[in-house]
A and B are shown apart, each in its own frame.
Chain A
Amino acid sequence: MTAPAPPTPLIRISHLSKGYVRGGQAIPVLLDIDFDVMAGEFVALMGPSGSGKSTLLNLIAGIDKPSSGTIEIGGVDIAGLSEGQLADWRATNVGFIFQFYNLLPVLSAFDNVELPLLLTGLSARERQARVAAVLGLVGLSDRADHYPGELSGGQQQRVAIARALVTDPQLIVADEPTGDLDRATGEEVLGLLDQLVHALGKTIVMVTHDPKAAARAGRLVHLEKGVLVDAAPAAH
């Protein structure tokens, strides 16, 4: 009898560097980062402003390109993908949760959640069923026809979470998901993220400044001046 194969990480980052050139001067943002995230993990990226945590999240989400190194997600080196390939990859593999929700104000909650499904080959009926299911999951079935302007901040963030979930991606990236919410609402949203990890097995990488929010994650990753300084389990 052979031993079961060790679980492979969902995200495998090696020798990742990112820098910008401003006014002819090279500004390093991330320096030689090596970092893995297992499937089903909830990772919080923390660090002071300018530490590179958002840049790292953007690179993992495939909305930015590294200067060097590799980012393998689900076995695909997304650093080597073209813009078009990256767009297709994001559509099926990543769910986004932003600090300011980034919902389209002219679309209802239902339509906002349906957006990512328009890039799939699903029929209208299938899309409707999926949107109804995820809105139910975030507790907003009765607000499907409401526009973002008619919803509270917490409700808008829950719509954004439903939108991130609707294509059933393995990876969800969240950039300060509670940054614009009060404490109680933030707690609700974090509870929902917890649920995604534990009940649905999603992998979440979250950037946060809030130690309480970070404490909900399974692992904390600290960045300072573009360097990974600590990757410890979160203290629950």
Chain B
Amino acid sequence: MFLLKLLLKNAFRHKLRTTLTMVGLVVAICAFGLLRTIVDAWYAGVEGSSSTRLVTRSNISLTFPLPLNYAQRLRAVEGVRQVSWANWFGGVYITERNFFPQFAVDPATYLPLYPEYRLPDEQKLAFFRDRQGAVVGRKLADKFGWKLGDAIPLRGTIYPGTWTFTLRGIWDGAEARTDESQMLVHWGYINEAIRQRFKGRADAVGVYILGIDEPQNAATVGRRVDALFANSLAETMTETEAAFQLSFVSMSEAILVAVQAVSFIIVLIIMAVMANTMTMTARERLAEYATLKALGFSPGFVVRLLFGESLLIAALGGVAGLLLTLPLAALFRSAVGTLFPVFQVSGLTMALQLAAALGVGAVAAAWPAWKMSRIDIVAGLRHV
């Protein structure tokens, strides 16, 4: 109790110094949390993947389509429960800066594969009925202020021309990590138009999405699918949805590593700053620690005093940094719009923020605590 009282009083003895140290910690912990959240956001697609979905694409490259008639053969593969397909539409809404993902899908088979997209039945029905209809995630609708019935014109980049879709539904994600930044349109409508304009490009599928019965059968089913199309003109590569998403993330891995490195460097910098503060503090109180030891207090008491003070400042800075991260993340989320489909400070990030803050506190106190515990009483008492 006395130890707590003394370390509390010591911690706020130099209010300006303690406040500046805490502000530094708040900034560092906040930056650490935000950078980690950016990395997490990059991996959100992987995290949000279902273990019962496989993705089949061309073995050559994702840019090479697969024939539509594969769907029938895929349905017959043992272990495959559902089959759907999707094409990257790649349209531009007003300007390229408004980027968001658009997929041309077969709604009747696609939506049952994505139960995490919570779409009211009447909106689902309206989407099914309107071949020019589209559904979007809540986040995307909110970003552009779209309402049901709005016309959404997209300038095609892969599929030339201007395509106008009518908004028929807005889905809410079942979980916070569910992607709400996409737009889905009818593959059939696009395919029909393409058939009329560019005959050779019709009936082409970007990827097949397979619903499987059991997650543990994923590898076996994938091998079966790829074996089925081996030595054909369009060989396939089947992988789990998570692996498929990860292949996109790995393209920007160097950036992610750099972001992660920066987040740790920030913590290291504040660690050095705080270690300097604690060393300065300890040096100033040399005579006090010597007095305590002369009175009979053990070196361990001095160690606990310094560690306690450092950990207290670090914990306060860490908690403040953590609390500030949440509104800043929300601000960041609204600023970047749909660039990150999911931008949420995870529980793990929060735990790491606190651990980093306490780690900073502990490391910062280690040297001065060791030094002060070994201080020669006589020399210390001379230090006035």
Contacts and interface: CB of A to CB of B under 8 A. Distances in A.
Interface of A: 58, 61, 63-64, 83-84, 87-88, 90-92, 96, 98, 100, 102, 104-107, 111, 115-116, 118-119, 163
A84 B296 CA distance: 9
B294 A104 contact: no
The 3 closest A-B pairs by CB, nearest first: A91-B296, A106-B9, A63-B377
Contacts of B384: 100
A84 B299 CA distance: 9
A106 B377 contact: no
B52 interface: no
A90 B296 contact: yes
Contacts of B291: 96, 98, 102, 104
A64 B380 CA distance: 12
Nearest to A101: B291
A91 B294 CA distance: 8
A170 to B, nearest CB: 15
Nearest to A115: B295
Interface residues of B, number: 21
Given A102-B287, A106-B6, A107-B9, A96 B377 contact: no
Given A102-B288, A107-B9, A118-B2, A88 B296 contact: yes
Nearest to B298: A87
A116 B297 CA distance: 8
A106 B13 contact: yes
B297 A87 contact: yes
Contacts of B377: 58, 63-64
B10 A61 contact: no
A180 B298 CA distance: 29
A64 B381 CA distance: 12
Contacts of B296: 87-88, 90-92, 116, 119
A88 B288 CA distance: 18
B378 interface: yes
Interface in B1-22: 2, 5-6, 9-10, 13
Contacts of A92: 296
A105 B14 CA distance: 12
